[in-house]
Structure 1
Amino acid sequence: MLIEKEYLKLSEILYYLQRFGDLNPKIISAISKIRDAEKLIQWLRENYHYRLYPFPRYEDLGLKKYYVTIYSNYYRISLLDLYDTFDGITTFIFRDVNNPLVINAAIYFTSTSFDKVLDYLQDEGIIFHYDIHKVDEEKFYPIDYSIFNFNKGVFEGLLSSPRKPFELPDLTEGFSPDDLDVKILGKKQERADISLKDLSSLLGVSFKDVLYHTQAHVIGKGLIKFYSVYLYKPDFRLEVSFKEEEVLEELSKIPSMYYVYKLDDKSYVANIRDSSSTLLSYLKFISSLKEKDTIETYLHPYDQQYMITASIPYEHFEKGRWNFNTEVMMLRAEKLVKKIEKEEENKKEEND
Structure 2
Amino acid sequence: MLIEKEHLKLSEVFYYLQRFGDLNPRVIGAISRIKDADKLIQWLRENFQYRLAPIPRYEALGLKKYYVTIYSNYADISLYNIYELFDGMTSFILRDVINPLVLNLSIYYNSTDFDRVLDYLQDEGIIYHYDLHKVEEEKFYPIDYSNFNFERREFTGLLTSPREPFELPDLAEGFFPDEVDMKIIGKKQAKTVSSLKDISTMLGISFKDALYHTQAHVIGKGLIKGYSVYLYKPDFRLEISFSEKETLEELSRIPSMYLAYKLDDKTYYAHVFDNSSRLLDYLDFISSLKSKDTIEVYIHPFNEKYLFTASIPYEHFENGRWNFNTEIMMFRAEKLVKKIEEKDGGRQGE
TM-score in same-fold range (> 0.5): yes
Partner of 1:324: 324
Distance 1:288 1:344 in 2: 42
User: Does 2:202 correspond to 1:202?
Assistant: yes
Q: Distance in 2 between matches of 1:198 and 1:12?
A: 26
Which amino acid in structure 2 is aligned with residue 211 of structure 1?
Answer: L
Which SS does the other structure have where 2:171 is aligned?
Answer: coil
**1:248-287 alignment runs, 5 A limit:** 248-287=248-287
Give the Cα–Cα distance (whole angstroms) in 1 for the partners of residues 228 and 155 of structure 2.
16
| Aligned: 1:181 with 2:181 | yes
Flag the 1:181–1:30 CA change in 2: closer, same or farther, 3 A.
closer
* 1:282 CA displacement: 0.3
Counterpart check, 1:89 vs 2:89: yes
- Measure, in 2, the Cα distance between the counterparts of 1:199 and 1:34: 26
- Report the CA distance between 1:200 and its aligned residue: 2.2
**Deviates further, 49-58 or 325-334:** 49-58
Q: Which residues of 2 match residues 199-348 of structure 1 at below 5 A?
A: 199-348=199-348
1:27-83 deviations in Å (ceiling 9; x for gaps): 433444433322212111111111111011111111000000000001111111111
Unaligned runs of 5+ in 1: none
Question: How far apart are the structure 1 equivalents of 2:270 and 2:300?
Answer: 13
> C-alpha displacement at 1:185, in angstroms?
1.1
Secondary structure in 2 matching 1:146: coil
What does residue 132 of structure 1 align with? Answer: 132
1:24 & 1:210 partners in 2: Cα distance?
10
Supply the distance in 1 between the matched residues of 2:293 and 2:86 (Cα, whole angstroms).
34
Aligned partners of 2:237 and 2:273 also within 8 Å: yes
Moved more, 154-163 or 34-43: 34-43
Alpha-carbon contact 2:94-2:307 (below 8 Å) kept: yes
What is the root-mean-square deviation of aligned Cα atoms in Å? 1.2
Match of 1:153 in 2: 153
TM-score normalised per structure 2: 0.97
Per the TM alignment, residue 198 of structure 1 is displaced from its structure 2 partner at its CA by 2.1
Q: 1: distance between equivalents of 2:51 and 2:212?
A: 22
The correspondence of residues 63-102 of structure 1 with structure 2, limited to 5 A, is: 63-102=63-102
Deviations 1:270-324 (A, max 9, x none): 0000011000100000011000100000000111001110001111100000110
Number of residue pairs matched by the alignment: 350
Residue deviations 1:153-199 (CA, integer Å, cap 9, x gap): 00011001111111100111111111111111111110111122222
What CA deviation, in whole Å up to 9, does each residue of 1:311-343 have, x standing for no partner?
011111000001100000000000000000011
Q: Secondary structure at the match of 1:65?
A: strand
Give secondary structure in 2 for the equivalent of 1:340.
Answer: helix
CA offsets 1:249-280 (integer angstroms, 9 cap, x no match)? 11011000010001111111000000110001
Query: What does residue 41 of structure 1 align with?
Result: 41
Whole-Å separation in 1 of the counterparts to 2:309 and 2:323: 21
Taking only the aligned residue pairs, the percentage that are identical comes to: 73
Higher mean alpha-carbon deviation, 20-29 vs 317-326, is at: 20-29
Aligned position for 1:12: 12
